[in-house]
Structure 1
Amino acid sequence: MTADPDPDPVVRAQQLRVAVGRVSRRLRQIYTSTPGAGPSFTEVAVLVRLEREGPAAPSELAARERVTSQAIAAVIRELEGRGLISRSPDPVDGRKTVIAITEAGRALLRDREQVVMGGLIRALGDSYSQAELRRLDAAIPLLNRLADLI
C-alpha cells in the first residue's frame, strides 16, 4: 500500500490555521469568561506577561503585545482600577513608570488557570485514546516551534 502524497502546503496551512484558531478561541472564551465584567483577552495577556517576565514599562508591554501605546494605556488603566497591577517609578529612570502585577492579579490568573486546565483535562481524558494522547504530546514541541517561527 502506498502512502498518500503530502497535502498541498496551502491546504495544510489553511487546515492548521483553522484548527489552531478554533482551539485558541475556545481557550480564550473559557479564560476570559466570568460572571460580570471580567478582563479582556489583552488584559489577561498583560497579566500573564507581567507574572512570567516581571515588571515592565508600558512601552515594553505595548511592543510585546503588539498593540499601540494608546491601547496599552487603556489596558493599564483598567487593570490598575481593578487592583490587578500597580505602577511605580522606574528605579533606573524615575521619569518613567514600571508596571507590576499585584497579588490580586496573581490570584485572578490562578483561578482562571484552574478553570482552563480543568476543561482541558476533562476533554483530553474523556475523548482520546492513549495512542492519540501520545500523538498530541508529540505535536506540542512542533506547535511551539511553529509559534516561534511565525
Structure 2
Amino acid sequence: MEHQAQYSDLLQLSKELDHIYHEVSLKMGLSDSGFSLLYALCERGVPTAPSELYAEWSLSKQTGHSALLALERRGLVALSPDPRDGRGKLVALTPAGAVYVKQTIQPLMAAERSSFARLTGEEQNQLVALTEKSVILLKEELSGLLSGPAGTQL
C-alpha cells in the first residue's frame, strides 16, 4: 500500500533543505544571511543594490545590513555609490570575494544543478510546477489572514 503524503512530510523536507544549507554556511564560516548574500552576488554577477538582495532572500533590512557589514569586514564585498541614484549604494564582490565564491559557492551551485539534472525532464517540470502551485495556493489561503491593518499583504 502506497504512503499518502501529508503536509508534514513536505514541511520536514523543507526543514531538511534548510538544515543542509545551514550546515554549508557554517562550514564556510558564514552566517545563513551572509551565505545568502554571497550566493545572490555570485548568481547575479553584477553590483546590486543591497535592498534588492535583501528582498530576494527575504531578509529584513537589519539582518541583511548586519550580514553585509560582516562580509565587508572580511574583505569579501565592497559598497560603492550607485551611479543611477546618488544616495544609493551597490554591493559587489571584491577580488578576494570572487576567489572565495569560486572555491565555495560555485561548487555548491554545481552540485545543485547536478542533483536537479539527475531528475528526468518530466520530474524537473513536475517539481517546479507543483512547488509553484503550492506556493500560490498557500498565499491564497493566507491572504485573508495576513491582510488588513495589522498584517501585510503577501
Do structure 1's residue 42 and structure 2's residue 33 form an aligned pair? yes
User: % of aligned pairs identical?
Assistant: 26
1:85 counterpart = 2:39: no
2:68 is matched with 76
**Structure 2: stretches of 5+ with no match in the other structure:** 136-154
RMSD: 3.2
Which of 49, 53, 64 is equivalent to 1:61?
53
Structure-1-length-normalised TM-score: 0.67
The answer for the alignment partner of 1:19 in structure 2 is 13
Does the CA-based 8 Å contact 1:62-1:69 persist in structure 2? yes
Give yes or no for the alignment of 1:142 onto 2:126.
Answer: yes
Match of 2:88 among 96, 106, 131: 96
Q: Which protein, 1 or 2, shows the higher relative CO under an 8 Å CA cutoff with sep ≥ 6?
A: 1
Specify the structure having the higher radius of gyration (Cα): 1
- Aligned with residue 98 of structure 2, among 97, 101, 106: 106
For residue 99 of structure 1, report the CA deviation from its aligned partner: 0.6
User: What SS is found at the alignment partner of 1:97?
Assistant: strand
Q: Cα distance, 1:116 vs. partner? A: 4.7
- Structure 1, unmatched stretches of 5+, are 125-132
